[in-house]
Structure formats: C-alpha cells, structure tokens
Chain A
Amino acid sequence: MIPSARLPALVFAALLLPLLGGCVTATVQEVREADTGMESHESVVVLGRRTLPSNRETEFGFVSCVSKNMRGGGDGIQVIDEQRFRDAMFPWFEPRTAPANTSDLPEIINQPELAARLEELGLRYLVWIEGDTDRTDAGGSLTCSVTTAGAGCFGFLTWENDSSYEASVWDIRTGNSVGRISSDAVGTSYMPAVVVPLPFIARVRSSACNSMADQLKRFLTTES
C-alpha cells in the first residue's frame, strides 16, 4: 500500500510525465507539379478522403489539426472548415459524388451555382488528405488490481504507432493538380508501472500533422 503522504507526489508525477513524449521520427516529402502562390483574399480547404469502399478513412482529428496549424502563426493562411465547405458545396463533395481526379473537377466547377459559391468562399486550393495512423507493434504486460486495501499496477507496456499521410493539392483556378506532400512519422510509446503507471506517449499523429501543415503552408505560399 502507498503511504498517504506520498500520494500527492505520485499523482503529480503521473500527471506530469505524460507531457514527456516518447521518441518520434518524422519525414516529409514534397513533389511539385506546378507553380503556386496565394493572394490575401484566397483560401484553402483541407478535406479527408471519404471514398465509399475504403476502410482507411483519414481521422477527423488529423484533418482539423492540419487546418488549424495552417491557420496559425504569423504566416497563417485562410483555411475553410471542412464541414462548412462540404455543407456549402453539398452534394458535390460527399463520398458518393466527390471528384476522384482533377479530370472530374471541371464538371463540378463549371456549374454556374457552384462557381459562384466557390467565388464567394474565395477558394483557391483544395487539399485532399489520405492515410491514417496505425498501431504497428505492441508488447509487454501490465496488471492492475483493486482491493479494499488499495489499488495498484505492475508491469511494462510498449507500443509503436505509424502515421502515414499524403496530401494532394488541386488548384481550383486552373483545375490541375499542383503537387503532393507526404508526411510519415513513427514512434514508440512506453508505460512502466510500479503501483502507478507512467505513460511516455510518442505523439506520432501530432508530429505528422505539424510537419504536413508547415510544409503545405510553405508549398502554397512560396511562389516558384
């Protein structure tokens, strides 16, 4: 049983230690197919691919994280909220109707109602994100027990997460693909437990999100 005087210290440690992360390795790659650049009134939308048969949808959290990070900072750009965009353009970006390739884009953007709405939104670039984060490996064991005398855990857990995302960027003005950015991150998390479990979480998805958002921002705003 834990002496009651040490409990606050252990609880404090348990709350503090998750802030310390496990190790994450992130890589970003960029393929540019055309020149980019944005004017101050123009905006971008980041959409997760939700194609019907796929069972590997990009998590909402990742898409909103990329959007939020692209908006942030001194060099932030205007990013339209994904749900607001899908509602405003309904039903043309639903799983059943969304353009699969840039060749499908003219059919949509040449409709007068849609062209007017896109103009109203100031949309210049469409960013499609595919990919997800998976647990690729896990090991160890941890046992917890609760008795009338107290509770505690003992053991060691480790797991590896792998994030792999790719963003395709379409220019609405030209109707062409302008490039692709991939962001991959791998990290191992640990959780030793001697009475109190102490998680060392590798923020893999967050790392992939930050890398992708930074790269997308540079990619879209740097004229080349």
Chain B
Amino acid sequence: MLEPALTTPILPARRAASRLLSAFTLALVVGCGGASVSVPPVLPVPLVEKIPLTMGYHLSDELLGYVHEESLEDSGDWTIAFGSAQTTMFDNLLNGMFEAAVPVAGPEAAGPDVDGVLVPNIEEVQFSTPEQTRSDYFEVWVRYRMRLHGRDGALVGEWPLTAYGKANARNYGMNSREPALQAAALAAMRDAMAFFTVQFRTVPPVQTWLQAELAAPAAAPTGGASP
C-alpha cells in the first residue's frame, strides 16, 4: 500500500529531471550552432546640406540578395543577410544627401531628370566572434565598391568604401549571438552611410563631376549634355 504513495511524487520529479537534461543538452547544441541573422531595414536619413541634384541609384539583384555565409570550425555555420537593408539604406542615404533620389533600372536607363547614377556593390564581408578575438565583441567589416555614372551612363569614377561595426555581446544577455551579430551588422551599415556622407564630396572624380553639374545652369532635358 505504501509503494504507490512513494512512487507517485517521484515520477514527475524524474520526468522534470529528464526534461531539464534535454533542455540543457538542447541549449548546449543551439549555443554552439552559429547564428543566422538579417540586417533590419531600420536606418536613419543623414542630416546634411543637400546637394541640389537628382541622384539615381541602381541596386543590382546581386546586392539585394547578398548573404554572407561562413562556417567556423569551432562554432558552426553563420549567415548574415545584408540584402534586406540595402533599399532602405540607399534610399535614405541619397534622399538625405541630394535634393531628390530615385531608383533607376540601370546607369544607361536613368532618364533625362537624373544627374547621375550611383551603383553600389558589396565586394567582401568579414566578421569575427568574441570567441575568436577573446573579447566581448562581435565585429563586422563590409567592403563596398561605389560606382558613379554620369547622366549619359558613362562611368565617372569608382572607389572602395570599407565600413565597420561592432556590438558588445554583454549588452544582449544570454543567447546573445543572434542579436549581437545583427547589431554589429547594422552598425556596419550605419558606418557605411556615415562614411559615404562625409567622404562623397572629397572623392576626386566626384569633385570634378559635382563642379561640372553644379556649374551647369540646368540639366539638359534631352539627356545628351556630355559626350
């Protein structure tokens, strides 16, 4: 008669212990399995004196679908999707810097009201984890190549732009991999925007292009202003 009374409370305890062990094992597995994040399209508009020109921008399918994938020997597979943030990034960036900014189908198909076309591309992405650097930080580097085309579609100039972002994993508590990596990637996007904003007018071919465009009394409506 005593046996059922003794075993009844033990069964839930065994089940609880078993579940706890399963949860612990799962946590270990998930904790060692890298991370997969997408950069959120939450980016600000630069606050600068606007350049009185209309800038077109062409975002290639390659850029819009850009995903960095990497397998690390000790910590699994890592994925950072940058493409999802590119439209917001360049729309906000160029609308903040220029009187107007419009997406175009290509540098040669910009239309008569567009003074130039920016064609950005991501050339390389690198990242590091706290385990690799023995720090608290996730770090992300993104190297863009910016190409500026004139109103006739001809290449005005191109230049690299390297952006960097980091995020302190300690700000994100337990299971910080995904939010911290995402924050580092977002910080790199903000850095790219900040760098582009302050650098743009100092790039030599851009300076020449700006001087010519701003000196012109008005954009040629036929679109055939420059040879």
Interface residues of A (CB under 8 A from B): 4, 52, 55, 57, 59-61, 86-92, 94-97, 111-114, 117, 146-151
B184 to chain A, nearest CB (A): 12
Beyond A88-B44, A146-B17: 17 further Cβ-contacts under 8 Å?
A: A52-B164, A59-B171, A90-B44, A90-B46, A90-B47, A91-B47, A91-B194, A91-B197, A92-B47, A95-B191, A96-B191, A96-B194, A112-B49, A113-B49, A146-B20, A146-B24, A147-B17
Question: Is B9 on the interface with A (CB-CB < 8 A)?
Answer: yes
The 8 closest A-B pairs by CB, nearest first: A91-B194, A90-B44, A87-B44, A94-B194, A60-B171, A4-B9, A91-B197, A148-B14
Q: Are A96 and B170 in contact (CB under 8 A)?
A: no
Q: Which of B47, B137, B195 contacts A114, CB < 8 Å?
A: B47
Q: Are A91 and B193 in contact (CB under 8 A)?
A: yes
Inside 8 A of B137's CB, which chain A residues have their CB?
55
Give the nearest-CB partner of B137 in chain A.
A55
Contact sample, A vs B, 13 pairs, CB 8 Å cutoff: A55-B137, A61-B171, A90-B47, A91-B193, A91-B198, A94-B194, A95-B187, A95-B191, A96-B195, A111-B48, A112-B49, A113-B49, A148-B18
Question: Is B7 on the interface with A (CB-CB < 8 A)?
Answer: no
Chain B contributes a number of interface residues (CB within 8 A of A) equal to 30
Inside 8 A of B20's CB, which chain A residues have their CB?
146, 151
Inside 8 A of B17's CB, which chain A residues have their CB?
146-148, 150-151
B15 to chain A, nearest CB (A): 10
Question: Is B190 on the interface with A (CB-CB < 8 A)?
Answer: yes
Inside 8 A of A92's CB, which chain B residues have their CB?
47
Tell me the complex Cα distance, A169–B184, Å.
28
Tell me the complex Cα distance, A108–B79, Å.
37
Give the nearest-CB partner of A3 in chain B.
B9
| B187-204, CB < 8 A from A | 187, 190-191, 193-195, 197-198
Inside 8 A of A57's CB, which chain B residues have their CB?
168
| B1-23, CB < 8 A from A | 9-10, 13-14, 17-18, 20-21
Inside 8 A of A4's CB, which chain B residues have their CB?
9, 13
Q: Are A94 and B190 in contact (CB under 8 A)?
A: yes
Question: Is B211 on the interface with A (CB-CB < 8 A)?
Answer: no
Tell me the complex Cα distance, A114–B46, Å.
11
B213 to chain A, nearest CB (A): 21
Inside 8 A of B190's CB, which chain A residues have their CB?
90-91, 94
Q: Are A90 and B45 in contact (CB under 8 A)?
A: yes
Inside 8 A of A59's CB, which chain B residues have their CB?
168, 170-171
Question: Is B222 on the interface with A (CB-CB < 8 A)?
Answer: no
| B50-97, CB < 8 A from A | none
Q: Are A97 and B198 in contact (CB under 8 A)?
A: yes
Q: Are B48 and A97 in contact (CB under 8 A)?
A: no
Give the nearest-CB partner of A98 in chain B.
B194
Q: Are B48 and A113 in contact (CB under 8 A)?
A: yes
Tell me the complex Cα distance, A36–B47, Å.
29
Tell me the complex Cα distance, A147–B21, Å.
9
Residue among A57, A96, A97, A149 having the largest count of chain B Cβ atoms under 10 Å: A96
Tell me the complex Cα distance, A60–B173, Å.
12
Tell me the complex Cα distance, A193–B220, Å.
81
Tell me the complex Cα distance, A137–B20, Å.
31
